[in-house]
Amino acid sequence: MAKDIYVGLLGFGTVGTGVVRVLQENAEDIAQKAGARIHIKKVLVRDITKKREYLEKVELTNRPEDIMDDPEISIVIELLGGLHPSRELMLQAMEKGKQVVTANKDVVAQFGHDLFDMAEKHNVAFRFEASVGGGIPIITPLKECLTGNRISDIMGIVNGTTNYMLTKMAEDGSDYNAVLKEAQRLGYAEANPAADVEGMDAARKAAILASIAFNTRIQLDQVSVEGITNIEPADINYANQLGYVIKLLAVAKDYGDRGVNVRVHPVFLPSSHPLASVKDVFNAIFLRGNAIGDAMFYGRGAGSLPTASAVVADVISEARDIVNDQSSPIGCTCYNKRPFCPLEDTESSYYVRLHVKDEPGVLGAIATAFGDSNVSLKSVIQTRMVGTNAEIVAVTHVVKHSHLQKAADILSSLAVVDKIRSVIRVEAE
């Protein structure tokens, strides 16, 4: 083992601790695989006086330049999170000729382009396997193992918090607020859970996945986002009765000449679908390619050690390149400029739940509203009374989203309709 490789670590939170632990505990094997000993030389932290586990022999600093200007450091791991100064520090590290690894989905989704440009300019590698799906290998498989395919569909459970909540709602019959509290108690949801439950976390990962899968840059603001805050126990029950489970999915689809669409929303998924059995905080990315057919990658989407697994793998890949005096053969893969297909032009089957007046002719009025909007129905059932209202559940055939929206507008305007309680896409049938 001739070589030693020195790493600068920006940030020492949950994932940072995991990275240092993995590099220490598996040091012998990692040295064999990388062809070099990998040392964390310096760690950027706010408070350099605080004692920290696993960092006894490591230099702490609160000045980024101590890392940037250290010529011995050839790899920088960014684990600060957030957009700034993460972006700037990664760009600086690249300018200084250092390889970069990050787990930061925010930065990759928002500033991936800048980072790839800079990496290319300075002939350094930029890796971010941990930014989607935590420990699950998905970025590298897309960039290296599925390259013979044109990918047409991605459906990912990429947010563990919401998958845990939906699993508990389905298993225990609890309502949204109760499972949110439980998730917070267990540390699966943050005090401010907005980024998870409103779908923005999943949207960032969707943008990253879609950009790589379709080889075209997807901007975060193109992704339409709907979270799980409106899911009620009634929806979970109907899903179950009808042979579905409800999952929050990151969906990316290729609509051919119409372009690609990327979105995050809850879906009804057939209970026989491989994603349906992905429970609790586990993540999985399901995809379809024109050679491989259907495939799925499953594992832990968050947590100290699983995320560290992905970060350390990226570090080892970069170390191998350094040892072999080579540069990473794969940079930015967005060589296409695909149009973005607006949500209105996508199609799907839909589940619609309504509260209506309990009087003669209501079913007919509702069926007419759907029919006038070119939405054909697979089934309409009047199921139970909720107070003085009757609850009606309709499942449509595959229809254009814009037609479904028109139907919803008409339905909302009907005097007999109290409220549309839920509209949820049915996927993968």
Q: DSSP code of 272? A: T
What does residue 356 show for φ and ψ, rounded to 5 degrees? -135, 165
What does residue 352 show for φ and ψ, rounded to 5 degrees? -130, 125
Residue where the block lists tokens 């379809």: 288
H helix runs in 186-232, sequence order: 194-197, 200-214
317 binds a second copy (CB under 8 A): yes
- Hey, is 250 helix, strand or coil? strand
216 binds a second copy (CB under 8 A): no
Q: How many Å apart are CA 102 and CA 113, to the nearest integer?
A: 14
Are the CB atoms for 309 and 316 separated by under 8 Å?
Answer: no
409 binds a second copy (CB under 8 A): no
297 binds a second copy (CB under 8 A): yes
255 binds a second copy (CB under 8 A): no
* Sequence-ordered list of residues with C-beta below 8 angstroms from that of 148, at least 6 positions apart, any chain: 289, 291, 292
Residue 374, CB half-sphere, CA atoms under 13 Å: how many? 9
For residue 217, the minimal CB distance to a second copy (Å) is 14
Are the CB atoms for 9 and 77 separated by under 8 Å?
Answer: yes
For residue 324, the minimal CB distance to a second copy (Å) is 5
Q: Beta strands 347-357 and 399-400: pairing type? A: antiparallel
Based on the residue annotation, tell me whether 50 is a catalytic residue of this protein: no
Applying CB under 8 A, which of residues 55, 75, 316, 423 lies at the interface with a second copy? 316
292 binds a second copy (CB under 8 A): yes
398-429 exposure pattern, b = at least 16 Cβ within 10 A, e = fewer: ebbbbbbebbbebbeebebbbebbbbbbbbbe
Closer residue to a second copy (CB): 1 or 398 = 1
Residues 385-404 contacting a second copy, CB under 8 A: none
For residue 338, the minimal CB distance to a second copy (Å) is 12
Region near a second copy per CB under 8 A, out of 16-24, 54-62, 362-370, 376-384: 16-24
270 binds a second copy (CB under 8 A): no
From the list 205, 247, 253, 406, the catalytic residue is 205
Are the CB atoms for 246 and 234 separated by under 8 Å?
Answer: no
Applying CB under 8 A, which of residues 60, 76, 103, 136 lies at the interface with a second copy? 136
Applying CB under 8 A, which of residues 327, 349, 402, 405 lies at the interface with a second copy? 327
299 binds a second copy (CB under 8 A): yes
121 binds a second copy (CB under 8 A): no
148 binds a second copy (CB under 8 A): yes
Region near a second copy per CB under 8 A, out of 17-25, 173-181, 184-192, 226-234: 17-25
The footprint of a second copy (CB under 8 A) covers 18, 22-23, 25-26, 29-30, 32-34, 129, 135-137, 140-141, 144-150, 215, 274, 277-278, 289-300, 303, 305-306, 308-313, 315-317, 320-321, 323-324, 326-327, 329-330, 333, 335-336
- Catalytic machinery residues: 205
